[in-house]
Amino acid sequence: MGRAGASAPRKDPRRAPLDDGGRAAPPARLMNEHAEERLRKAVLEAKLFGEPHDAPRIGRFMLRRRIGAGAMGAVYEAHDAQLDRLVAIKLVRREDEANARTDRLLREARALARLSHPHVITVYEAGLWEGGLFVAMELVRGGTLQEWLDARPRGAREALGMFLAAGRGLAAAHTCGLIHRDFKPGNVLVGEDERPRVADFGLVRLTGESSSNEGESPAIADMFSTATGAVLGTPAYMAPEQLEGARVDARADQFSFCVALYEALCGASPFAGEARAERRRRIHEGDVTPPAEGRTPPRRVIEVVRRGLSADPEARYPSMDALLDALEAAGRPAFPRGASLAGGALAAALGLGVAMMVGRTNVPVPQEAPPFTYADAPRDAALLSAARRVAPRDPTVAALLLLEVEAPERHREWSALAADVLSQPLARFIWNDTRLSTTTPGKDVVLLHDLNGALLARSPDSGRELLRRSGGVWGMVHPRGDELLVQTRQGLEAWPLGRTTEAPSWRGASPKLAAVSVGQGRELFAVATDGSVLHWDETRPAAPAVLRTVGKTSTIASTAILPEAGVVGVFWPGQSIDVWPLRGSAPPRRLEVGREGFSAASLSNSGDAAVGFEDGSLRLFFAGSRAPITIRGHTSKIRHVRFSDAGERLAAWAEDGTTRVWDVKTPQSRETPTVLPAHEATRALMDAEGRVLLSGSMDKTGVARAWNLATREVVVLRGHAEDGGHVTLSPDGTWAFSGSIHNTARAWRLASATTAHAFGHAAPIWAAEVHGDRLATASQDGTARIWHIGEAGAPREAAVLPSAPATRVFLATFSPDGRRVATSSNDGKARLWNTDGSGAAVVLDGHEEWAYALSFAPDGRALFTGSKRGCIRRFRVEGGAPEIVHCQARQQGIPTQVNHITLSPDGRLGVAALASGHLVLWENGGAEVSRAPRVIPAHGDVAQALAFSPDGRRLVSVGRDRKVRVWDPAFDTAPRDLVGHEGAVYHARFSPDGRRLVTSSADGTARIWPIEGEEAPVVLKGHEGWVVWAEFDGAGRRVVTSSYDGTARLWNLDEPTTPRVLRGHWGPLRYAAFAREGRRVITASMDGTVRSWDVTEEPVERLQKRLREATRACLSARQRMKLLGEDATAAAARASGCER
């Protein structure tokens, strides 16, 4: 394959793909000769005229140059005009006679595009173009793993570390149901960042599909052979079942992986043989080639590899994850400080087609690692590996794995993982093979169904089974908490809770019931499916009295019995609501809802009704009042409506994800409801007092959220793999229960505030700033807010600073003394507020378009503002007309927005970064700008941010052109460029001593650069999305980063390989900063929430105690087999022996 600036790689016949007869595969044909000719013409024009005038385009991708060709087609470097990034475009020829086969290849490419992993090459897009198939993916610069191995002798620790990383990528593919079928070192890319990426998925197969060649895409078939019955793959690495043309699964990739690892460690192929028959014989006989002379691979590692090389797939490890865990347990490598790591072992990535590599053949050689050490406790290493994998989606299971680690003090990442999971809510109990009952639980009782249909009552605190009733259709806990009412085929029964009994304390004859409610004392009310309203008085006779009939339930959507109000509500689908007197013969009160029908409705215990509609409006029907009251605010269909038991509070969830809560008895509240941040809610509940809302989501995240309206905090409940939308809430709001379609249920105690996020904004937070013990946030909801940061718990909202209606607030910044806050918004105005919220805002007007950037002078007497139009103004804080510093001349198609303004520490120099890539510099003298500003072209694309060093001797600018530029503020010398980021750079901040700089980038990394000398930067890698903010703590020993992956990470620069992950927000993070002298980290998210994290280090013993106190759940046998690779017998024994 061709690569710019690289010599042709050394040919190795043993590694070349062959057909079944040993012939070399035929060369690839160009996808489209016309496109190729246009590309050559464009390259020629670029050489002659400096730019391509007519470069071919595929949608938004502009092809720039051909960088290689493989068996499946050609590879081009291209520019993604929409997202401003370089990508690799794979063009595959489409055979006219094989449309169905091309469709298959397209489906396989799109299957890869669904694979999302921090260390997986991203497939951006795939489709058909000018008669062929194209696949757009991440462009990687570097070499292959084979070239990395050949560059110089590699020790066991280096090779094993690299293969463990590649294996994690392969395991990620298996998780998505994808089988590689051609894993080998030549199909693994090692970028300049030292990160391996599994590539060349030309033979990818969806799990469960046949492995025969029939129906193969022609491009795939051409890779090795077009002969009927040919076996596809590279024979030297193929599993025996693949060599024989049988159906293969993920264990075939495991075999190939172990062949490649054995070669790397031993310097010889494990089953060398010129003839394929000889190789098959050696595999089946287990005749493994000894290590080459001078090679002494780790014995325990080789033992693990030997199992992966078993001829029988059943004898291999059950999964790639199990194999990798065993390898880590056999010997985990220690990595150097300067290496680019991802939370332990290097991570891996996946690609498609030929290796998409440009740049150097010789990959940079990392500095030598410390001596290789074996894990003292192999099982501990396996537990840590499993905890690391599962922590993002299920912190409770991760906690259970961490509790089994026997020597946590020996593993440096144990404490970071423990702190991570303890910063999230943990389920008190997990009940497997059960379903959560749809009925309301009791105060200290949760209702479940087992897989045999029995109804179970359990204590959520102790987990103890209180009652089991076979044949129970549904049940409800009596408000007194001492009995369970159960509907069976025999009738309605009452069972005492907490006492062992063989028979119910009462059984009432009843038809099939649609609704049941408890009245005074022991009396019961019910509505039967025939519409009869039934009543059992406190004596509980066997036969109920029939109070009245309200209509057959075959035409009724639902019913509600409200004994306190003395009414029965009957909801007619999409038509009306009838409110019947519970007793007597009086006709119902019909609530007319109009022709459009209603989408949701609720009745309160006082007889009030709330009805939601498709247009987002609500109507309130108060008992005793004829005319309804209309409430507006939502703009989409109302999905759920809930009253509190007392009827004083009403919550409504809309289809657009917004939630509003009204105190309906207070007219003012109807105009100013509490608005919750947008979130998915497919089921929603409220406790009796209206203090806690619980919402569940049936999407793939399986997330539930509990909102405390009194403290304005929300906790995010993670754990279900998907469909956690089935939720129930205890009447007092202290317990939440969640269930999923996978027959698991969980109990969550909601009392803890240590894992809560604060909410107040109803829309994304765009910017935030910490000043002492206060936080300012700016939001798209048109407000800025001031929060108090305490030593514990979530931030407390101290003031709301509203701008004009229908505006968005872009920035909020404190004055140097902290007494004022300035905000900028899209109405062209800046505003000055008192930090305590007192008094009216001082409006600073003058910009014709959005006011965007803000910066106070160091003495606080002036405020500089920048607009979307490119104008910079200086306002005196004490009043007076503004002074125009500069207005950038507008040019067609070139943005001029002022992105950032900063002033030197002494305030004498001001600098602005423009979207045009220019910097504007001016000098401040006394009450005005002393001389005309200078405009300097600094970046080839948007100039994003600026930072002065603490002494003011250096200025750094960063931009979307990936450049980090260090300037002398006099601008009389050329800048020093710090090169390394592979994506737009968004933020820069100096260390307190000014000797280091941290930058954050769209390439998913932050980098620590030494300002003096040529030392390589420390790369902080692990985020799964853009890193948009990074800053040092006050001592310069730690860095916090925030990312669009929804997490912040805390990096100890003495050990930057094991960051602590701050996880819990469900939206991208815009900001993270240290507060309270470094004891806390504050994060602000586009989900509208803020969070304060305790980042003080705790001893291992304290963390263990907190884990034991937080959860009493146990790992199931199924989880143990899946996560730890335990056999069925051992897993069952350990699961049954678990007691907490």
Closest among 423, 422, 425, 412 to 1059, alpha carbons compared: 412
d(CA 565, CA 308): 70
d(CA 573, CA 664): 25
Assign residue 880 a region: left if phi > 0, alpha if psi is -120 to 50, beta otherwise? Answer: left
Q: Which residues pair with 205 in a beta bridge?
A: 179
Structure tokens at 807: 């505006």
Residues 6+ away with beta carbon under 8 Å from 1025: 1004, 1043, 1044, 1045, 1046, 1068
d(CA 593, CA 588): 15
Neighbours of 1132 (CB within 10 A): 16
Closest among 151, 162, 237, 159 to 198, alpha carbons compared: 162
How many residues are there in the chain?
1140
d(CA 574, CA 911): 61
Q: Cβ(913)–Cβ(955) under 8 Å?
A: no
Closest among 56, 694, 235, 659 to 436, alpha carbons compared: 694
CA R_g for the chain: 33
Residues 6+ away with beta carbon under 8 Å from 107: none
Helices (H), 1067-1127: 1100-1110, 1117-1124
Closest among 603, 597, 612, 507 to 564, alpha carbons compared: 603
Structure tokens at 1078: 């470094």
d(CA 264, CA 279): 19
Q: Cβ(261)–Cβ(268) under 8 Å?
A: no
Query: Reading across the β-sheet that carries 1018-1021, which strands appear in turn?
Result: 985-990, 996-1001, 1005-1010, 1018-1021
d(CA 871, CA 888): 6
The half-sphere exposure of 383 on its side-chain side, counting CA atoms within 13 A, is 21
CA–CA distance from 74 to each of 54, 1004, 1116 (Å)? 20, 28, 49
Is 512 annotated to bind ligand?
no
Active-site residue, from 12, 19, 84, 182: 182
Q: Is 182 a catalytic residue?
A: yes
**Beta strand pairing status for 434-436 and 205-206?**
unpaired
Structure tokens at 596: 């459009």
Distance of CA 700 to the CA centre of its chain: 11
DSSP H/E element including 414:
helix 412-422
DSSP H/E element including 383:
helix 378-390
d(CA 924, CA 684): 57
DSSP 313: G
User: What string of H, E and C letters represents the secondary structure of 663-718?
Assistant: ECCCHHHHHCCEEECCCCCCEEEECCCCCEEEEECCCCCCCEEEEECCCCEEEEEC
Residues 6+ away with beta carbon under 8 Å from 925: 908, 931
Residue list, annotated binding site for ATP? 90
The residues assigned a catalytic role are 182
